[in-house]
Amino acid sequence: ISGKDEVTVLVSVSVMEGDSVTLHPDIKINQTDDIEWYFNKTKISNLTGNEYVICTDDECKKRFGDRLELNNGSLTIKNIRITDSGDYVLNIFIRDSTTIFNVSVYGVSAPDPDEVKESVTLDSGILRNPDDVMTWNFTDILIAEINGDQSKICTDEQCDERFKDRLKLNQFTGSLTIKDPRTSDSGLYKLHINVNNSKFGITRVKRFKVAVT
C-alpha cells in the first residue's frame, strides 16, 4: 500500500509455538532514525540513536516478560506463544515508513511414541530449504549437521564411538535415522533449525525423547 508521503509494507509470518522469530526492518536503520514497535496497537519498544527501551508498561511486561530483544531495529520474540499472534507494527518516522508483520503462531501436537525395531527416525516435520542450517545434538554432543548442500555426521571421537555407522541424515528434510538402536542411545535429541529470510529469521528447536528398551 503506498501513498504520497508514506509507505506501508505488509509481511505475513507463520511460526511454530516455542520458536524464536526475528522481524527485520525493510530498510537499513541509521543512528538518526527514531523507530517504534507496536503489538496490536500497544507500544512494546522504541529506539532513538543507540538507546532503546523495551516494555515500559505492565501489560507488555506481563505478556512478554524478558522474551523481547531489539538489535539494530530488528525485533526478536523468543519462545513465542500462540497468544503472541497478531500484528507487529514498525514505524520509522524520519523515513515515513511503516511495516506491518502479521504473525501467526500455531501449536504442535505431541507425536505418538514410536515402536523401535531395526531403526528409528526422528522426523523434522518440514521440507528443508537450501539456506536452512540444521544441527542435531544428543545430550551436549553435536552428532550431525546440514548446511547448504554439505552434511556432516559424527565429526568427533565421542560421537563416532557411540554411533559409528549407525546415523543417517535425510538431505531433503533433515530428519535423523538411528539404525540398530541400543539402550545407550536413550536420551534427549535436539534439532536446531535456523531459517533465514530477507525480512525475518526463525530459530526452531525440536526435542525428541528416545527410550530404547
pLDDT tens track for 77-99: 999 998 899 999 998 887 677 88
Q: How far apart are CA 164 and CA 43, in angstroms?
A: 53
CA-wise closest residue to 197 among 105, 107, 101? 101
Give the pLDDT confidence of 6-46 residue by residue, as tens digits: 557 788 888 888 889 999 887 777 777 788 999 988 899 98
Give the pLDDT confidence of 186-199 residue by residue, as tens digits: 999 999 998 877 67
Q: Quick one: pLDDT at residue 10?
A: 82
Residue 133, exposed/middle/buried by CB under 10 A (0-12, 13-18, 19+)? middle
Give the pLDDT confidence of 48-75 residue by residue, as tens digits: 877 889 988 888 989 999 999 988 889 9
User: What's the number of CA atoms in the CB half-sphere (13 Å) around residue 105?
Assistant: 19
> Which residues are CB-neighbours of 110 under 8 A, at least 6 positions away?
none
Q: Quick one: pLDDT at residue 76?
A: 93
Mean pLDDT score, 119-137 = 87
pTM: 0.57
